[in-house]
A and B are shown apart, each in its own frame.
Chain A
Amino acid sequence: MEAQLIDPLTPLHANGNASRKLPRGAMEVRIDSYLRACGVVEHSRREHLLGATLGALGVDDQKKLLSWAEIIAAVDAVLARHMDWPAGPAPATGGRGRVALRLGVAAERTADWAVVPQRSLQYMRPQNLSPWRPPLRELLRLRIPRSTQGLAACLCWLAVLIIP
């Protein structure tokens, strides 16, 4: 079952197995495989990020078991620090660093990348589409001119005479 959760389209599994053959501690292997999956192909860069992540985790004993949630959070925090976001503190939460790694987005664009502009609260007021009805008062006041009445009567007579 769990295998279905792993993306079958990316070669993570093979990489993971390969990592296990390296003479490394379990934690290193785990972080290394995750960084590979994040798209850190370059060996030296991966080594650098790996060291930083281990440091961020504060793990001396590399065989100590940490949860994957902790590892991923640490990787995200390290990536955020290394992305060198231009202004303000780097967004440590979320996985923007992972996105930037894969896309190769320039650092200056990464800070606000994918962020839709600030929303305003400009409400579109529903318009009144209720049907027009003549006010009762106007209906009661309605006067049909005598000439119109005469014309209508003539037309009625014509209709009676012609249609049969």
Chain B
Amino acid sequence: MPRQAQNVNRLRRRLLLLLVLASTAGAAFVLGTILAADGFSVLELGILFLFTALFAWIDTSFWITTFGFLVRLFGARQRRLDAAAPADTGGAAATATALVMPIYNEDPGRVVAGLKATLDSLWENGLRGRFDAYILSDTTDPDLWVAEELAWSRLNREFAGRVDVFYRHRARNLARKSGNIADFCESWGYRYDYMVVLDADSVMSGDCLVRLVSRMDRNPQVGLIQVPPLPVLRETLFARSQQFASSVYGPPFAAGLAYWLEGESNYWGHNAIIRVAPFIQHCGLPTLPGREPFGGEILSHDFVEAALLRRAGWEVWLADDLGGSFEEPPPTLIDHAKRDRRWCQGNLQHLGILLARGLRPLSRLHLAMGVMAYMSSLLWLLLLTLSGLEALRQSQTERSYFIEGDLFPNWPVSYAFEATTLLAITLAMLYLPKIWGYLALLGDGRRLLGHGGAFKAAVSVFLESLMSILLAPILMLFQSGFVISILAGRSVKWAPQQRGDDETSWREALAAHWGHTCLAVAAGLASYHYIPNFFWWLTPVLAGPALSIPLSRVSSRVDIGRMLRAWDLFLTPGESDPARVLQLLARNLAEERRLTQALSGPPRFFEQAVSDPFVNALHRTLLEREPRPKSERLRLDGLIARLQEAGPAALTRDEKRDLLSDSTSMASLHALAWQAREVL
């Protein structure tokens, strides 16, 4: 990086630090003045500490978004990556790029539909350089495994002669997703200059991919470029409000991040292009010492990989200006919380990496912010608890205004103005970023139209704010519970994300939220009884958890989401004016649905792999030969015998998977199936 650019970056970051410190110190001073009226109690000191930490957290986000808004408004920023690549679409790339999609027990139809849309878009855009695609399966479900192979065979045939699409299934899922990618790098990384990592629900436009490659070509010091993925396609009320929020408030925030961080940005795990050679050389992840949840495999590998690239001197950029990068959000509040549970453990695990040797200060900050993203919920809960206890203490303290022997009464000093000002500032920090997002929308006619126009977008902003007021305390309780359970040593299992529009049933909502409801009602009753004045302050926080069961159920409903869409509320360009790649995805998904509906009953892919000559042959062709010890062979023969005697239902999922993993067993089973047919 040129020295001048380095100085400018350093200056910018110092400015951000100054703004955050100054505004946090100001807010802490005002609160300190209020609390110090009668001297500090231990509770008040705790409140001051927690408030300061939380204020710094929202304050950082506020300043990032504010500057992002200004950068977008004035468009003054000269990107160094663009400066190095004046004609992004012009040059023909001679490099080789692999699109890698690690999957784990996902819906194969959805996986293939997404990858096909990306490849179609790439093809329509005019392929430059070599692009290959890899479906890297870690799937453990035997039926899904075979279904993936069938779906891949259709995709492979369709792109024959245009793009090579490979399928690899890993028998042993070492190190989860990061191990899956590492296996690709170790095996085939030598063939490629770059790899674009896609999630199972990722879609990227051809234009975006070509421009990413072009930027990498022209900036050899860059190790990774992340494109912020925009959530799209879900139809539940919850997901549509999230999609709207990301679409309106996301761009200024991402612009702000890119402005402050420049080449010291972060990696979010997918929808990013990575230079393969340095990744292989510097991003091998160790197993952390100790037991899970803090030890063992690194779960949130992305932040760590970005930090390792930075440690080795490679730049990591955020391409907030590219567009054409999409993903699907969790459809319901409960699914969102499930995903948070995984991320929470992964991020808290970073506590052990924060002080790792040689990491850049900003990489440590990224790791710390990931930890704080979940710790802040616990701190907020603690702040509320301490505030309630302090209010109780105040209500039970008898005040004496006339002190014996003193001529003058000791009147209490009013700090109403300071308190109101502090509340107003805090609310401004929370809601101004939303207003910046809306104002940025007003300045861009096409985007505004895509969000339903000025009035409907404003109504949507209002509704989204209302929803976030209700849902934020519920998520705070969820996340606090996660942090506590992780600190208590409970680990999380690896489960695939829910990607369909499945609604939450009343039973699921009750099971997930009864604790929140009880807590909110108990806190409400206690505060109303003992400190009625405090109760009214608490109502915005208690309302969400008290109503969490119906809220979770209602927000998961697709019909309400669709109804609001018909009224152009929570509308996003992804719905009103979808990008070409999203249109292709919609077409592919409709085709996959048609294929599924054409089947007469629930598909039994394991049985097909045994009896159907094509499915059996396809599966065996894709298996990598692995010599089996004699004891294992005997065990597999035992499984075959049990299958013959009692049918597929007699085998467990793992036993079916073991049979599927062995080519010899599958050949024997195929012959036995035809033998059995003849007996009939």
* Residues of A in contact with B (beta carbons under 8 Å apart): 1-10, 12-13, 16, 30, 34, 37-39, 67-69, 71-72, 76, 94-99, 101-106, 109, 113-114, 116-117, 119-132, 163-164
Residue pairs across A and B with Cβ atoms less than 8 A apart, 24 shown, are A1-B644, A1-B647, A5-B643, A7-B611, A39-B613, A67-B671, A68-B674, A69-B671, A72-B613, A72-B671, A101-B614, A102-B614, A103-B157, A106-B160, A113-B621, A114-B153, A116-B166, A116-B167, A116-B187, A120-B186, A122-B190, A122-B280, A127-B285, A129-B353
A interface footprint on B649-670 (CB within 8 Å = 1, 0 otherwise): 1000000000000010001111
Contact yes or no, B611 A131, CB < 8 A: no
Which of B230-238, B384-392, B600-608 sits within the interface? Answer: B600-608
Contact yes or no, B612 A7, CB < 8 A: yes
**18 additional contacts, CB 8 Å, given A5-B611, A123-B186?**
A1-B644, A1-B645, A2-B677, A2-B680, A7-B604, A67-B671, A69-B668, A72-B671, A98-B614, A114-B167, A114-B622, A119-B187, A120-B188, A120-B190, A127-B282, A128-B356, A130-B357, A132-B357
Which A-chain residue is minimally distant from B353 (CB atoms)?
A129
Q: Residues of A contacting B188 with CB < 8 Å?
A: 116-117, 119-120
Give Cα distance in the complex from A117 to B189, angstroms.
11
In the complex, which residues 594-634 of chain B have their Cβ closer than 8 Å to any Cβ of chain A?
A: 599-601, 603-604, 607-608, 610-618, 620-622
Q: Residues of B contacting A1 with CB < 8 Å?
A: 644-647
Give Cα distance in the complex from A99 to B672, angstroms.
20
Give Cα distance in the complex from A131 to B615, angstroms.
51
Give Cα distance in the complex from A68 to B602, angstroms.
28
Give Cα distance in the complex from A101 to B669, angstroms.
21
Q: Residues of A contacting B679 with CB < 8 Å?
A: 2
A153 → chain B closest CB, angstroms? 22
Contact yes or no, B676 A116, CB < 8 A: no
Give Cα distance in the complex from A51 to B612, angstroms.
22
Contact yes or no, B168 A6, CB < 8 A: no
Q: Residues of A contacting B190 with CB < 8 Å?
A: 120, 122
Contact yes or no, B186 A131, CB < 8 A: no
Contact yes or no, B617 A114, CB < 8 A: no
Q: Residues of B contacting A38 with CB < 8 Å?
A: 613-614
Contact yes or no, A121 B671, CB < 8 A: no
Give Cα distance in the complex from A55 to B672, angstroms.
23
Contact yes or no, B617 A95, CB < 8 A: yes
Partner of B160, one of A30, A105, A119, A127: A105
Q: Residues of A contacting B670 with CB < 8 Å?
A: 72
Q: Residues of B contacting A98 with CB < 8 Å?
A: 613-614, 616-618
Q: Within 8 Å of chain A (Cβ to Cβ): is B40?
A: yes
Main secondary structure of the interface of B (DSSP, over half): helix
Tell me the count of chain B residues lying within 8 A, CB to CB, of chain A.
77
Contact yes or no, A72 B160, CB < 8 A: no
Give Cα distance in the complex from A72 to B617, angstroms.
11
A126-B286, A130-B357, A132-B357 given; A6·B620 CB < 8 A: no
Q: Within 8 Å of chain A (Cβ to Cβ): is B587?
A: no
Contact yes or no, B160 A109, CB < 8 A: yes
Q: Residues of B contacting A116 with CB < 8 Å?
A: 166-168, 187-188
Q: Within 8 Å of chain A (Cβ to Cβ): is B396?
A: no
Q: Residues of A contacting B220 with CB < 8 Å?
A: none
Contact yes or no, B644 A7, CB < 8 A: no
Which A-chain residue is minimally distant from B164 (CB atoms)?
A117
Partner of B304, one of A5, A6, A125, A129: A129
Contact yes or no, A2 B644, CB < 8 A: yes
B355 → chain A closest CB, angstroms? 4
Q: Within 8 Å of chain A (Cβ to Cβ): is B398?
A: no
Which B-chain residue is minimally distant from A119 (CB atoms)?
B187
Give Cα distance in the complex from A60 to B610, angstroms.
30
Of all A-B residue pairs in the complex, the 3 with the closest CB atoms, nearest first, are A95-B617, A2-B676, A124-B284
Q: Within 8 Å of chain A (Cβ to Cβ): is B465?
A: no
Q: Residues of A contacting B612 with CB < 8 Å?
A: 7, 10, 37
A34 → chain B closest CB, angstroms? 7
In the complex, which residues 131-180 of chain B have their Cβ closer than 8 Å to any Cβ of chain A?
A: 153, 156-157, 160-161, 166-168
Contact yes or no, B680 A122, CB < 8 A: no
In the complex, which residues 278-314 of chain B have their Cβ closer than 8 Å to any Cβ of chain A?
A: 280-288, 304, 308
A77 → chain B closest CB, angstroms? 13
Partner of B187, one of A8, A120, A129: A120
Partner of B680, one of A3, A76, A113: A3
Q: Residues of B contacting A67 with CB < 8 Å?
A: 671, 675
Partner of A34, one of B182, B644, B674: B674
Contact yes or no, A99 B618, CB < 8 A: yes
A155 → chain B closest CB, angstroms? 15
Q: Within 8 Å of chain A (Cβ to Cβ): is B46?
A: no
Contact yes or no, A37 B613, CB < 8 A: yes
Contact yes or no, A99 B614, CB < 8 A: yes
Q: Within 8 Å of chain A (Cβ to Cβ): is B519?
A: no
Contact yes or no, A94 B672, CB < 8 A: no
Task: Determine which residue in A2, A119, A128 has the highest number of CB atoms from chain B within 10 A of its CB, and name it.
Answer: A2
A interface footprint on B168-208 (CB within 8 Å = 1, 0 otherwise): 10000000000000100111111100000000000000000
Give Cα distance in the complex from A12 to B616, angstroms.
15
B251 → chain A closest CB, angstroms? 34
